[in-house]
């Protein structure tokens, strides 16, 4: 099993943009996360300077860090694969800016649910949500991610040696990788 084989590249540029409309510390709803993601997505000047497609590296830049929420611009290339994960107690939204992301959700006794999220589309999720992201056929892809409250402990899901599903606690600031790869 390969774990955390990719270099972690997390760049923090705190409070560059202030998007909070609710009192500091008040968690946002998934719909509010969607509104922030879509609003920032419509402002290339807000996200374009943070795009960085490097071969072999999934590049993160946190462009907002409030008590109530945080926003990342993520640049994807190659065969980056988050593996299945949850988001702890956070809800959120993901807005695709360019390229495309395959989102896969675990089916419980059913086939997994997979869809392509294309530029201009936004998905929302509650804290109960489990999914996996991969860029579309290795096409350089850029997305905005809003989490509220900011990610704390999250969970990565993988297949144990006996075939049973395992949840591994992960720091929300660590890079997610497919633990079964
Ligand atoms: Fe996620």
pTM over 0.75: yes
Going across the sheet that includes 113-117, the strands are 113-117, 101-105, 132-135
The parts of the chain modelled with pLDDT lower than 70 are 1-24
Burial 55-68 (b: 16+ CB within 10 A, else e): eebbbbbbbbbbeb
Ligand 1 center–CA 104 separation, angstroms: 10
Ligand 1 center–CA 103 separation, angstroms: 9
Give the model's pLDDT for residue 52. Answer: 95
pLDDT tens for residues 134-157? Answer: 999 878 999 999 999 999 999 999
Give the model's pLDDT for residue 21. Answer: 54
Ligand 1 center–CA 145 separation, angstroms: 8
CB-CB contact of 86 with 127 (8 Å) = yes
Helix ranges, the chain (H): 30-41, 44-47
Specify whether domain 27-171 bears CATH 2.60.120.10: yes
Ligand 1 center–CA 131 separation, angstroms: 6
Ligand 1 center–CA 111 separation, angstroms: 19
Q: Where are the domains of the chain?
A: 27-171
Going across the sheet that includes 165-171, the strands are 84-85, 153-159, 165-171
Give the model's pLDDT for residue 24. Answer: 59
Give the model's pLDDT for residue 176. Answer: 84
Ligand 1 center–CA 92 separation, angstroms: 8
């Amino acid at each position: 099993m390969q774990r955390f084989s990719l270099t972690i590249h997390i760049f923090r540029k705190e409070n560059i943009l202030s998007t909070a409309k609710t009192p500091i510390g008040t968690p946002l709803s998934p719909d509010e996360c969607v509104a922030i993601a879509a609003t920032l997505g419509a402002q290339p000047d807000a996200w374009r300077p943070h795009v960085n497609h490097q071969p072999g590296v999934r590049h993160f830049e946190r462009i907002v860090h409030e008590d109530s929420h945080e926003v990342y611009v993520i640049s994807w290339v190659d065969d980056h694969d988050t593996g299945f994960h949850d988001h702890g107690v956070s809800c959120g939204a993901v807005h695709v800016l360019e390229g495309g992301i395959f989102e896969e959700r675990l089916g419980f006794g059913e086939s997994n649910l997979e869809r392509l999220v294309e530029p201009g589309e936004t998905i929302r999720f509650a804290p109960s949500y489990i999914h996996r992201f991969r860029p579309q056929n290795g096409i350089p892809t850029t997305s905005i991610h809003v989490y509220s409250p900011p990610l704390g402990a999250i969970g990565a899901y993988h297949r144990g040696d006996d075939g049973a599903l395992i949840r591994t606690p992960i720091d929300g600031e660590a890079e997610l990788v497919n633990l079964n790869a």
